[in-house]
Amino acid sequence: MNWIDVNESLPETGIDSVYGSVWVLVSYVFEGKPYNTLGKYIKTPKPYWINVHRDRLENITHWTPLPEPPSNFSGVDPFELDLLTKV
């Protein structure tokens, strides 16, 4: 896993929506402690990051693409498979 500094590069936008990137793993600092979560970069005139709950994220320092999902989902309900592959 290679973390990318947000000062060097940001996720490509326009993939998942007109303004947003795909979901990526982000690293951020909150109250002096580092945390990781899923995030999406939204490129508007005032760009920002959101989490899966659509809350804005602050102090993002790094990001990395999510790994590809496993290729074998044998025994998984097709509806659940659809949800698992669209996170």
The model's confidence at residue 70, banded by pLDDT at 50, 70 and 90, is confident
What is the rounded distance in angstroms from the CA atom of residue 5 to the CA atom of residue 61? 6
The mean pLDDT of 18-23, rounded to a whole number, is 84
Q: What is the CA radius of gyration of the chain?
A: 14
Model confidence at 41: pLDDT above 90: yes
Tell me if residue 5 falls in helix, strand or coil.
strand
What is the rounded distance in angstroms from the CA atom of residue 26 to the CA atom of residue 66? 10
Contact 20, 28 (CB under 8 A): no
Q: Can you tell me which residue has the tokens 């979901």?
A: 23
Contact 50, 37 (CB under 8 A): no
